[in-house]
């Protein structure tokens, strides 16, 4: 990838880059709506990502190019200084610009001028967090160019700051945390309350298949807000700040202090937090079938208790988990549409995936996109 982006950089800017970086996309492994309840989540950094190449300029210009729309076009040429939001074709530059906008908030300097190229093998808008990947690859590139080396947690927070404040997406810490702390053959474990990050080994030979339905509930933003509110209502009825502080026993005892709906939502979150902990435990003992069982149990809880699944996602999970070569499957991400991920051994192959797609097509008259991946390393200077 380094040779490829260096050659493309030379073609675009007429010289070699001085820094090349790469940051991966991620899969939400388990931990559904646990983040804003202060709970833990497990994510997998994948073997697809975004590469960034940069070289300094001394004329106070920031020039941006990418392969985002297929062929690499004319660079967008902006004056260095205070980043201004872009729209239209240059809208993608809001991710690196958001990183530049964030740097002073972390007492870090911006580069004075540079040429910038992004190239990716990670589809954008497919729930694999290409946004966090481009943020982290950009942040590492700008920091390397200016010889500044903050710690990983700061790098992750810079990416999140860019996405929350400049791009304007109120994402949690999962995407940037996994891209920043990822490691091949590991999962990233995030305690969202602190937040703090560590990794848990995953046995080699685990494969991931993501089936993206490209469906999205029309009311998704309102449904998210409603789930958030219900969780906070449950915490209040339980006398805690966040549901991570509550136990299943305490929830049972408080049953008559909340509505049935609020009780179901809280049960999902409290049990999901237990499932994340059980997954970490099972991984310590290499119990992959148990991990698979927990993944599917997470989906059933989304389906029945949190009610953030859809008939399309349920169909995929039912079809996938009926196969002996699938260890477990669940909706991945916020739900109300989107994607299902399956954890499989090496026997599940393209033919098996096509059989799932055919069944889905017969039922819904549309085909989900299928991506096969394994774990990969986190953000790095190449």
Residues involved in catalysis: 175
- Burial (0-12, 13-18, 19+ Cβ within 10 Å), 231: buried
- Burial (0-12, 13-18, 19+ Cβ within 10 Å), 196: middle
User: Cβ distance 338 to 179 under 8 Å?
Assistant: no
Q: Which one of ligand ADP, Mg ion, none is in contact with 27 (Cβ closer than 5 to 8 A by kind)?
A: none
Q: Quick one: 32 or 129, whose CB is closer to Mg ion?
A: 129
Residue 79: which residues within 8 A CB-CB, separation 6 or more? 60, 61, 62
Q: How far is the CB of 126 from ligand ADP (least distance, A)?
A: 6
Q: Quick one: 124 or 240, whose CB is closer to ligand ADP?
A: 124
* Stretch of residues binding ligand ADP (CB under 6 A), selected from 30-38, 119-127, 223-231, 342-350: 119-127
Q: How far is the CB of 284 from Mg ion (least distance, A)?
A: 31
Centroid of chain to Cα 219: 22
Helix residue spans in 2-44 (DSSP H): 2-13
**Residue 129 binding ligand ADP, by CB under 6 A:** yes
- CA angle in degrees (0–180, nearest 5) for 137-98-106: 85
Which residue has the closest beta carbon to Mg ion? 131
Residues in the interface with Mg ion (CB under 5 A) total: 2
Q: Which of residues 42-101 bind ligand ADP (CB under 6 A)?
A: 50, 66-68, 91-92, 95
Helix, strand, coil % in the chain, rounded to nearest 5: 45, 25, 30
Q: Quick one: 114 or 224, whose CB is closer to Mg ion?
A: 224
Q: Quick one: 179 or 296, whose CB is closer to ligand ADP?
A: 179
Question: Out of 12, 21, 37, 120, which residue is the one contacting ligand ADP (CB under 6 A)?
Answer: 120
Question: Out of 131, 213, 308, 321, which residue is the one contacting Mg ion (CB under 5 A)?
Answer: 131
| 162/139 Cα distance (integer angstroms) | 10
Total Cβ atoms within 10 A of residue 242: 17
Q: Quick one: 170 or 249, whose CB is closer to Mg ion?
A: 170
Q: How far is the CB of 253 from ligand ADP (least distance, A)?
A: 40
| 52/143 Cα distance (integer angstroms) | 12
* Stretch of residues binding Mg ion (CB under 5 A), selected from 48-56, 127-135, 136-144, 266-274: 127-135
| 7/321 Cα distance (integer angstroms) | 44
Please give the residue ranges that form the binding site for ligand ADP (CB under 6 A).
50, 66-68, 91-92, 95, 118, 120, 124-131, 134
Please give the residue ranges that form the binding site for Mg ion (CB under 5 A).
129, 131
């Amino acid at each position: 990838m380094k040779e490829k982006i260096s050659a493309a950089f030379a073609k675009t800017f007429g010289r070699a880059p001085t820094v090349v970086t790469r940051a991966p996309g991620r899969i939400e492994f388990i931990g559904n709506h646990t983040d804003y309840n202060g709970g833990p989540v497990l994510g997998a950094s994948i073997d697809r990502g975004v590469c960034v190449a940069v070289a300094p300029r001394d004329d106070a210009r920031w020039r941006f190019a990418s392969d985002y729309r297929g062929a690499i076009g004319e660079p967008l040429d902006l004056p260095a200084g205070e980043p201004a939001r872009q729209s239209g074709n240059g809208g993608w530059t809001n991710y690196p610009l958001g990183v530049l906008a964030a740097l002073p908030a972390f007492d870090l300097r911006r580069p004075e001028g540079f040429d910038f190229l992004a190239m990716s093998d990670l589809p954008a808008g497919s729930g694999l967090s290409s946004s966090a990947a481009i943020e982290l690859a950009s942040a590492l590139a700008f920091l390397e160019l200016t010889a500044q080396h903050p710690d990983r947690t700061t790098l992750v927070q810079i990416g999140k700051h860019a996405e929350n404040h400049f791009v304007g997406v109120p994402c949690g810490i999962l995407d940037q945390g996994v891209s920043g702390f990822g490691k091949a053959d590991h999962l990233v474990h995030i305690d969202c309350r602190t937040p703090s990050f560590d990794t848990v080994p995953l046995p080699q030979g685990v494969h991931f298949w993501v089936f993206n339905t490209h469906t999205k509930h029309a009311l998704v933003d309102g449904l998210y807000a409603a789930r958030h509110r219900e969780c906070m209502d449950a915490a209040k009825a339980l006398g805690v700040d966040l549901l991570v502080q509550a136990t299943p026993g305490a929830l049972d005892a408080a049953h008559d202090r909340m509505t049935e709906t609020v009780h179901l939502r809280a049960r999902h979150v409290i049990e999901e937090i237990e499932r994340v902990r059980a997954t970490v435990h099972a991984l310590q003992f290499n119990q992959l079938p148990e991990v698979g069982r927990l993944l599917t149990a997470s989906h059933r809880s989304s389906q029945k208790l949190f009610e953030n699944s859809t008939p399309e996602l349920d169909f995929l999970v039912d079809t996938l988990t009926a196969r002996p070569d699938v260890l477990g499957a669940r909706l991945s991400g916020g739900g109300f549409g989107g994607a299902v991920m399956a954890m499989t051994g090496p026997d599940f192959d393209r033919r098996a995936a096509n059989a799932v797609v055919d069944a889905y097509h017969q039922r819904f008259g549309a085909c989900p996109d299928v991506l096969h991946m394994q774990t990969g390393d986190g953000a790095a200077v190449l």
